[in-house]
């Protein structure tokens, strides 16, 4: 079976990682900085050496195009991002782009021209570390955000995203909203521990978990911690213990894929010798199935309706965000699954727990993702690490998934 050149892929990963490389072995290539610009220039040099043209849209998204036999067909796309967290690793994002580059190099080596053209995309500001929100390049591309909104986002020093994009020279002229993809694939490190723990080589990603965020508020009454007897208190912290138990129990009730996180628990006033008057608890629910997520929502409201067992504290909850689960296109997921099987790799079917550009792209094109293991599940960390072998495996799956969809003329 046709395979990519694993050593060449690895060398490119290491070469790019020198741009913004940190002493601890990570990468600081934050969006719209000079390092980002140098990373983009490096990328352009590699793809133009292969004969690709590069289009840039007004959001700085870069599209390297390799012509096919029938250039009236929509391209099959591979893409991810070249920006990093301020203390990021070498592989988050960059791996997906460089594996796509290695696929193009392999096809060129073999003189293979696909029926569909191919496009390798690097999306602007996936990380959201400097300008929030995350995934804004792909978000603007699909019309989720306006260009004006994106340009106006400010970093903590008051620099605007649009000005910084202009400063590094990446406000392009390729029209937004006109580009179509026949299919799209994003190869990424898992950023979690499942593949490593299960001893599998490839994650076949069926979609992205849905998310519901809530603010749970318990309201009692502030009082003196010394003078007020326990039996007179309306203490929200005392009341929260049984509620927290019940909320965590929803994770067990709704199965292995359910995630329940209560990560901020904030009494007010936050003072040692005052019984707090209120308590805010943030709730993060995740599940790949919207029906299960809705059932978790109903259960939460039932718990809140039951209220404080002692009847001394008011309990209320408000949903503040809902991101529905994403189900990737079966045609793309099948291409990944069968490609991995033909290559003889061990696989596991999984959902992404993190957001990716593919969440947005899946709204405008058949899309799926491929995951490879990363050491200790670590990402957004300078110690982020993968093996050259896993890197090559993922790129081989990408190659064959792309070939499956780029060779048929009638998508
Ligand atoms: Zn990423």
The dihedral through the CA atoms of 180, 184, 188, 193 has a sign that is positive
Q: What is the mean pLDDT of the chain?
A: 96
379 touches 306 (CB < 8 A): no
Domain boundaries, the chain: 6-208+325-406, 210-323
- CB burial readout 107-123, b (16+ within 10 A) else e: beeeeeebbbbbbbbbb
Residue with tokens 């991995």: 340
The share of the chain scoring above pLDDT 90, in percent, equals 96
How far does residue 392's CA lie from ligand 1's centre (Å)?
18
pLDDT of 9-34, one tens digit each? 999 999 999 999 999 999 999 999 99
How far does residue 308's CA lie from ligand 1's centre (Å)?
42
ω into residue 388 within 30 of 0, thus cis?
Answer: no
Bridge partners of 27?
21, 88
Q: What pLDDT, on the 0 to 100 scale, is given for residue 353?
A: 87
pLDDT of 55-71, one tens digit each? 999 999 999 999 999 99
How far does residue 47's CA lie from ligand 1's centre (Å)?
21
pLDDT of 230-267, one tens digit each? 999 999 999 999 999 999 999 999 999 999 999 899 99
Tell me, which fold does domain 6-208+325-406 have in CATH? Aminopeptidase (3.40.630)
How far does residue 177's CA lie from ligand 1's centre (Å)?
23
Residue with tokens 């990021």: 88
If pLDDT is split at 50, 70 and 90, which confidence band does 399 have?
very high
The predicted model scores a pTM of 0.87
pLDDT at 409 over 50: no
Mean pLDDT value of segment 369-374: 98
How far does residue 73's CA lie from ligand 1's centre (Å)?
28
114 touches 403 (CB < 8 A): yes
pLDDT of 78-121, one tens digit each? 999 999 999 999 999 999 999 999 999 999 999 999 999 999 99
Cα distance between residue 274 and residue 227, in whole Å: 10
326-327 and 202-208 strand pairing: antiparallel
pLDDT at 411 over 70: no
Instruction: Answer yes or no: CATH 3.40.50.300 is held by domain 210-323.
Output: no
pLDDT of 32-51, one tens digit each? 999 999 999 999 999 999 99
How far does residue 174's CA lie from ligand 1's centre (Å)?
24
How far does residue 87's CA lie from ligand 1's centre (Å)?
13
């Amino acid at each position: 079976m046709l395979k990519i050149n694993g050593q060449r892929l690895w060398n490119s990963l290491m070469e790019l990682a020198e741009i913004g490389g940190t002493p601890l072995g990570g990468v600081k290539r934050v969006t719209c900085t000079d390092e980002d610009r140098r990373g983009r220039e490096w990328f352009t040099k590699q793809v133009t050496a292969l004969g690709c043209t590069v289009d840039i849209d007004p959001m700085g998204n870069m599209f390297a195009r390799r012509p096919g036999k029938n250039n009236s067909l929509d391209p099959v796309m591979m893409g991810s991002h070249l920006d990093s967290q301020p203390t990021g690793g070498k592989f988050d994002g960059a791996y997906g782009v460089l594996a796509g580059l290695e696929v193009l190099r392999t096809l060129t080596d073999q003189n293979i021209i696909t029926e569909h053209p191919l496009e390798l995309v690097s999306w602007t500001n996936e990380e959201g570390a400097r300008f929030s929100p995350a995934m804004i390049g792909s978000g603007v591309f699909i019309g989720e955000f306006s260009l004006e909104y994106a340009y106006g986002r400010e970093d903590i020093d008051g620099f605007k995203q649009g000005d910084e994009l202009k400063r590094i020279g990446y406000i392009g002229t390729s029209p937004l909203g006109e580009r179509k993809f026949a299919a799209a694939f994003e190869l990424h490190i898992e950023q979690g521990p499942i593949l490593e723990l299960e001893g599998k080589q490839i994650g076949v990603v069926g979609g992205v978990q849905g998310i519901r965020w809530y603010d749970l508020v318990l309201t009692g009454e502030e009082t003196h911690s010394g003078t007020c007897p326990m039996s007179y208190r309306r203490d929200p912290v005392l009341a929260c213990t049984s509620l927290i138990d019940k909320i965590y129990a929803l994770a067990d009730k709704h199965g292995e894929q359910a995630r329940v996180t209560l990560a901020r628990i904030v009494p007010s006033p936050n003072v040692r010798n005052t019984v707090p008057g209120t308590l805010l608890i943030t709730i993060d629910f995740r599940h790949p199935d919207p029906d299960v997520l809705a059932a978790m929502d109903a259960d939460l409201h039932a718990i809140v309706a039951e209220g404080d067992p002692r009847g001394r504290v008011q309990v209320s909850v408000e949903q503040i965000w809902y991101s529905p689960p994403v189900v990737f296109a079966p045609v793309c997921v099948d291409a990944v699954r069968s490609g991995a099987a033909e290559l003889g790799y061990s696989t596991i079917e999984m959902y992404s727990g993190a957001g990716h550009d593919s969440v947005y792209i899946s709204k405008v094109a058949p899309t799926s993702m491929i995951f490879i293991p990363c050491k200790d599940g670590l990402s957004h960390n300078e110690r982020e690490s993968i093996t050259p072998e896993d890197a090559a495996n993922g790129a081989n799956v990408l190659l064959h998934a792309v070939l499956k969809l780029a060779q048929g003329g009638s998508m």
